Amino acid sequence: MKPKLTAKNRAIVEKALRAMLRWPKTVDMALYVSHDPTVRSTQPHPYCGTTACIAGHIVLAATGSRLRPGASYRTAATKILGLKDFTDEDSLTGDSLFHAERWPNNYRSRYWAARGPKTRAKIAVARVRHWLKTGE
């Protein structure tokens, strides 16, 4: 089922996608958010030294900062997007978005086989756009 997002929530997703394409080295579907404070970069806060999955990028786009240690990026991103808790159909769809191992095979296999951050970022963005269009 196609996700029901408000215009504000859709704008947050689009902001996250733009950041993922602008800074492809920040895209890493293996973890929610990681930050290396020793990285000196021309990238603006919070992207300097930060890598994140889709959920992490949504949180960064919405809040401009990382969550406190131990907080759940999956839960925060779900709330930011206005999806319900993880027992309903919307969030099961959202959950399949936030975990690459649950992506449709054509996205999952291409992401993990991709060489280079630009290619991985483009595949992750394509995956999100597919989810926005179809809910799958």
**pLDDT tens-digit map of 96-111:** 788 888 889 999 999 9
pLDDT tens track for 70-93: 787 778 888 888 876 544 444 445
Q: How many CA atoms, within 13 angstroms, populate the side-chain half-sphere of residue 136?
A: 7
pLDDT tens track for 13-72: 999 999 999 989 888 888 767 766 665 556 555 555 567 788 888 988 998 887 777 787
Interacting residues of 90 by C-beta distance below 8 A, sequence separation 6+: 1, 3, 4, 83, 84
Residue from 61, 6, 66, 60 nearest 35 by CA: 66
Q: Please give the Cα distance from 112 to 135 (Å, whole number).
A: 22
Domain boundary assignment for the chain: 7-134
Of the listed ranges 1-10, 90-99, 119-128, the one predicted with least confidence: 90-99
More confident residue, 5 or 1: 5
Terminal Cα-to-Cα distance of the chain (whole angstroms): 7
Q: What is the pTM of this model?
A: 0.82
Long-range (24+ apart) CB contacts under 8 A made by 5-10 are: 5/81, 5/82, 5/132, 6/82, 9/80, 9/81, 9/82, 10/132
As given in the structure block, the two tokens for residue 105 are: 């095979």
Q: How confident is the model at residue 130 (pLDDT cuts 50, 70, 90)?
A: very high
